[in-house]
Structure 1
Amino acid sequence: MTTHDDAAGLGPAWRSTQVRGLLEFGAGSLLPDGGAGWLDDDGGLDPAQPVHTWITSRMAHTFALGALLGVDGSTDRAARALAGLTGVLHDDAHGGWYAARGVPGAGESGTDDGTKAAYAHAFVVLAASTGSVAGIPGARELLAEALTTLDERFWEADPGLLLDAWDEGFTTASDYRGVNANMHGVEAMLAAYDATDDARWLDRAAGVGDRVVAWAEGNDWRIPEHFTATWEPDLEHHADQPDDQFTPYGATPGHGFEWARLLLQTDVAAGTPGRRTDAAVALFERALADGWDAEHGGFVYTTDWSGTPVVARRFHWVAAEAVAAASVLATVTGEERYAALVDAWWAWIDAVLVDAERGSWRHELDADNQPAADVWRGKPDVYHAVQALLVADLPLRGSFAASARDGAGAWD
């Protein structure tokens, strides 16, 4: 991809420095007995938070990417994070992984969340897949168990989608179905395909993506996020909780960007160049039109079904997914417009989100682009930012693990 960001000092050298800084910041999340805690604004553990499977998995995945790229210390850090998935977060009685555990020294409450969520399990698959490609000890065995659990507990063969959640004992499934868990399921299944060469995971990932495209196309390219147990759209879900962290009301432009990238990665993995490009462009353009605040700068979190902002706060992950999608579209289409957006958005991210004083990226801003913490307290996530920083400088593959494996020699 050709951009002009080198002239502004925001080219590959800046991005690799950012990646290293984020990995160093994220190292503060690692716990002595395995797993990763929730980081505060300064990179210390937040004692009010338990240890979450999704955070631990994201950290394990991100450190495994660092290991593939030769970043010092990343192999050991990935192994420590993965140890939480084979240890404290694993449910030895019922199988699968707790949503969260209260661990002394990391979470004061000591409370456990026994929910078995597809969202969290997808990230276990992602972590184990990337760990397997990176050669992290124990990752292959973890991946085998995680894929079996995803297949036997969460995959619904008739709709070809993942159900959302079970209770702790896998006895009662939630009536809610959602696209967010399936989006990360696609990411996880593409990574599993690259780690195992089992085409079943690629086929399922492609099928889920195509199903979501059909829903979006019938809804003016705004993705319906919430569904009933029979996969009927529930467009008013959480109208009374519009700023929910994971299942907010309305359309989520950040997910439009994220799906655009995943569709293009699916085509790379499947060897079907161009098949999903039109859909990726349509999702990207809708997310851009609805999500970007042209007056103040920044991306809103959610809109209603006509594109009017509902939650105008800015979350770092939305900007990360926007610039990542634009980077991939620039690579796939060769269009200068996408490269120009990459340049402009990196400049905005550097000016507004990157916290040069305290480290990492600010996770939440208000509508005036001032730091806030109404929805996201602290800085628990480096995964979105690291992936956005890597995608422009590595070869495009179905998974970031394959990109890092194949592009490590030229990175940095």
Structure 2
Amino acid sequence: MDTARLQGHQKWIREELERCVAFWLEHGMDPVNGGVYTCLDRTGEVFSTDKSVWMQGRCGWIFSYLCHLYGVKDEWLAASKSCIDFLEEHCVNHDAAGRLYFTVTAEGKPLRQRRYCFSEAFYALANAEYYGVTGRREHLERARRAYDLYWDLNHGMADPTGLGPKTIPETRTGRAFGIPMILLNVTGVLLRVDPERKALYEERSARCVDEIFRYHVKPELKCVLENVAQDGAARLYYTEGRIVNPGHDIEGVWFLLEHAKRTGDRELVQKAAQIFDWAIEAGWDKEYGGLLYFIDCLGKPPEAYEHDMKLWWPHDEILIASLMLYRDTGEQRYLDWFERTLDYCKEHFADPAYGEWYGYLRRDGKPTQPPCKGSTFKGPFHLPRMLSMCDQMLSELLADA
């Protein structure tokens, strides 16, 4: 292990984390209405005042998580509280059993309700982490309620919004990989902060892992399918049934690795490593570098227009998963992937002039024009999560060197 090289990586990562956090605190936080704006251009100017409910939860989580890792800072805790308070006051649909909206106005008036229930997951994540830092019991109760609602909605409960499934259920129903994957992540946070329900969380974590491998992991295709039939059968006769999101697979890898570390499951480490190997081999752009956004498991044309773009978050997930695999297996090839991806991100995503990372690159690695640092789907989450987690793992590796 080249400790000097790892120390250099850690120094850059810590500096980048400081720039990222400063960018969002300066440009994103709404001092008038509360919460966070995430539609920001390269310099941090707001180009849309509509607010993403996902991002209120994700921002509420990350600033509490930073307090958990590095100690409480007043400005971090205030940012977390602002987003959590905004969620509570404006983003809960009380006419639909406490489901959350997807987007709201700057003032918090509801704009859009989606059938997908990831808003609930990120609301639970934020409140759970905030409880872990502050000990304020009402936030734990909120987290539990939203987490249980998210679980129930994906295990047979009728959607109280009345939106129903995306497709006509008599024609086609199925399973989405993102459901057990995100559940596994949220459950891991609750396991850490809420030991009173440890047995429940352990049971549900194990069930999520089982669902991922039972239904979505396809060794015969060397991939994880995003969408499968209810019984897990691959449906290769239409585009959505063949889609693979390599970054999503790799994000799922480190969720599985965290579960393996909690439970001491060495076999799961190897199974997660196999998923990483498939995803990075199929998704890495051998001509321009970087990870393609979508691929077709049979090599046919993906339907999504953005399939060959390079987005910031899959590269964040490579950095977390590859470093975690190196830590857990000791195999040099995973450190090689970490360094290769870090070099790509330094060259193409990072913006030393203004801080934060470009969200969206063309296939050749140039930012889309005009460039942006945030959107409805990009806020202070994937990047600061990656930077803080990699900082922690590098400290572990250097301490053991």
Q: TM-score, normalised by structure 1?
A: 0.81
Query: Any residues of structure 2 matched to 1:111-122 within 5 Å, and which?
Result: 112-122=111-121
Stretch deviating more after TM superposition (226-235 or 253-262): 226-235
Q: Does 1:250 align with 2:251?
A: no
What is the match of residue 75 of structure 1?
77
What is the match of residue 260 of structure 2?
267
- The whole-number CA distance in structure 2 between the counterparts of 1:111 and 1:60 is 19
- The whole-number CA distance in structure 1 between the counterparts of 2:33 and 2:290 is 39
- The whole-number CA distance in structure 2 between the counterparts of 1:130 and 1:289 is 35
What is the match of residue 357 of structure 1?
353
Call closer, same or farther: CA 1:4–1:182 in 2, change over 3 Å.
farther
What's the RMSD between the two structures over aligned residues?
Answer: 3.1
1:218 Cα offset (Å): 4.0
1:236 Cα offset (Å): 5.8
Residues 17, 384 of structure 2: 8 Å contact kept: yes
- Of residues 182, 185, 189 in structure 1, which corresponds to 2:187? 189
Residues 324, 393 of structure 2: 8 Å contact kept: no
Structure 2 unaligned blocks of 5 or more: none
**Deviations for 1:28-65, whole angstroms, at most 9, x for unmatched residues?**
33333333222312223332x62222111111111112
**Deviations for 1:196-236, whole angstroms, at most 9, x for unmatched residues?**
12221232123222322233134433111124567654456
Q: TM-score, normalised by structure 2?
A: 0.83
1:82 Cα offset (Å): 0.7
How many residue pairs match? The answer is 376
What is the match of residue 135 of structure 1?
134
Call closer, same or farther: CA 1:150–1:55 in 2, change over 3 Å.
same
1:18 Cα offset (Å): 1.5
Call closer, same or farther: CA 1:255–1:172 in 2, change over 3 Å.
closer
Call closer, same or farther: CA 1:154–1:222 in 2, change over 3 Å.
same
The answer to which structure has the higher helix fraction is 2
- The whole-number CA distance in structure 1 between the counterparts of 2:129 and 2:38 is 21
- The whole-number CA distance in structure 1 between the counterparts of 2:55 and 2:238 is 25
Call closer, same or farther: CA 1:303–1:149 in 2, change over 3 Å.
same
- The whole-number CA distance in structure 1 between the counterparts of 2:301 and 2:324 is 26
Stretch deviating more after TM superposition (318-327 or 381-390): 381-390
- The whole-number CA distance in structure 2 between the counterparts of 1:375 and 1:230 is 42
Query: Any residues of structure 2 matched to 1:166-205 within 5 Å, and which?
Result: 166=159, 168=161, 172-174=164-166, 175=169, 177-197=175-195, 198-205=198-205
Stretch deviating more after TM superposition (208-217 or 280-289): 208-217
Percentage of identical aligned residues: 19
Letter of the 2:191 counterpart: Y
- Of residues 83, 88, 91 in structure 1, which corresponds to 2:90? 88
Call closer, same or farther: CA 1:261–1:374 in 2, change over 3 Å.
farther
- The whole-number CA distance in structure 1 between the counterparts of 2:239 and 2:100 is 24
- Of residues 8, 18, 21 in structure 2, which corresponds to 1:20? 18
Residues 5, 343 of structure 1: 8 Å contact kept: no
1:263 Cα offset (Å): 0.8
- The whole-number CA distance in structure 1 between the counterparts of 2:142 and 2:28 is 21
Query: Any residues of structure 2 matched to 1:310-325 within 5 Å, and which?
Result: 310=302, 311-325=307-321
What is the match of residue 276 of structure 2?
284
1:256 Cα offset (Å): 1.8
Task: Say which SS state the counterpart of residue 77 (structure 2) adopts.
Answer: helix
- The whole-number CA distance in structure 2 between the counterparts of 1:103 and 1:87 is 13
Task: Say which SS state the counterpart of residue 353 (structure 2) adopts.
Answer: coil
Call closer, same or farther: CA 1:353–1:378 in 2, change over 3 Å.
same
**Deviations for 1:305-361, whole angstroms, at most 9, x for unmatched residues?**
135674211001111111111010011001122122212221211111011123211
